[in-house]
Amino acid sequence: MGRISTISFPGLGIDEFTVNGVALSFQIGDKPITIMWYGIIICIGIFAGFAYFAYRARRAWIPFDDILDITLITVISAVVGARLYFVIFFGGFVETGGTFWENLGGTLYNIIAIWNGGLAIYGGILAGALAVYLISRHKKIGFFKLADMAAPAVMLGQLIGRWGNFCNGEAFGSETTLPWRMGLCNAQTGYETIYVHPTFLYESLWNLLGFILINIFYKKRKYHGEVTLWYFAWYGLGRGFIELLRTDSLMLGSVRVSSLLSFLLFAAMIPLLIVLRVRYKKLSAAGYIEYQEVVTIPLLLGIPRRKYGVPKTEPSKASPAAQDTAPGEDSGTDGGKKEDSAQESGGDPSDGKAPDGASGNGAKTGDAQHIPAGEGERERALQPEKKTPAPSADVNPQTDAKPESGNAPAAGEPEQSSAQNQPEEPEKEENTENGKDH
């Protein structure tokens, strides 16, 4: 691979300039050390993606130690996966002509020599997604919630990392006469100047636009995993067409592997996004989903995780600002359990205090307690069974007349038989007092 490339954009008025792929070169003892701009830019992209992921994760109250664990394991897995994907489909890494051990050593060196370029993004995405899934199961954090935080971070890393291809003078397209054509002269062109599609620039700009749109859409998502699906749909559409222009595509026979995978992703994501949106609207209209509630894909696919099985007749107005802050924002997560526990105790889930007008003897029903619309069924299920209070020790001589002997209630007979012999007005007063005591 050539280290120095001569590049120009004549249609944009940019004359020839030289780019050296080597950022730094020195020796340690007798061993030369070369640091490529490709590696530096890839690292910048990784750090930028980590910063974004940490920002989103902290807003969801994920501990920083967990953020570090997730990032380290995912990045290492992604690099290994990206390299293996490239090695499998690119080929030409097996050394021959020497002894067995010489060929084995040379082959292994070629496989791990990522400093010479050769990382396939789809291999990194697949391996990274698998790592995130396994970590989410281990740490008991929602996989789709983590994926929504990681997907824009990956896109940010991609739009930066493509400039590493620019410094290496690689990942360019076929020849063209378009106004934004790129003039290129290096070892890959046989040191002849050709004018090609700057496909590295196409993909970087496509990812930049997608990153902006996804972040605008982020707070408007309806379920965890929707941002991830949009990422695959957006990237798949752009990469599928851009890959058709490249001259260094990874091939499987006569098929461009990355282009085929991109179009398959786009074709799968769009119908899934539509189906899940329709499901969300139906469940929301039926009262199973609160106003602007961010739910999970399993719930939309008919696997409810709510504690109460009865639908609400009217969605309650939940604060949109609370949708992206608490770790238990998923339906059926710890946050939901805390709220349910607070509702059972009659308190406010935010501060754990008893409601106004409550005492050790119970809340006064004379102070009207507001019950949100649609909560009546759930509230009745949670209300303890009311018991008839014991007679007051204070006896009113005017109203507590002894019943006639012939009308005395028998043992086990309801109290109502004795109440019938009492004057009507005192009975109303007594019921009123009893109502205030509950």
Determine the pLDDT at residue 305: 56
| pLDDT on residue 117 | 67
Buried/exposed code over 378-397 (b: 16+ C-beta within 10 A; e: otherwise): beeeeeeeeeeeeeeeeeee
Is the Cβ–Cβ distance between 361 and 300 less than 8 Å? no
18 — phi, psi (to 5°)? Answer: -110, 135
Angstrom distance (rounded) from CA 203 to CA 200: 5
Which pLDDT value is given to residue 321? 39
For 187-235, the DSSP string reads GGGTT--EEE--HHHHHHHHHHHHHHHHHHHHTT-SEETHHHHHHHHHH
The single-letter DSSP state of residue 309 is -
Listed in sequence order, the residues at least 6 apart from 355 whose beta carbon sits closer than 8 Å to its beta carbon are: 346, 347, 348, 363, 369
**DSSP SS3 for 333:** coil
Contact 234, 270 (CB under 8 A): no
Give the pLDDT score at 337.
38
Q: What gap in Å lies between CA 404 and CA 384, rounded to an integer?
A: 37
pLDDT in the model for residue 371: 41
Quote the pLDDT of residue 389: 53
What's the pLDDT at 88?
86
Alpha helices in 23-182 (DSSP H): 37-59, 64-90, 100-112, 121-139, 143-168
List, for residues 91-122, the tens digit of each pLDDT value.
Answer: 778 888 888 888 888 888 888 887 666 788 99
Q: If we measure between CA atoms, which residue out of 304, 231, 220 comes closest to residue 272?
A: 231
CB of 85 within 8 A of CB of 124? Answer: yes
Residues of the chain predicted below pLDDT 50 = 1, 306-385, 387, 392-393, 395, 397-421, 423-424, 426-438
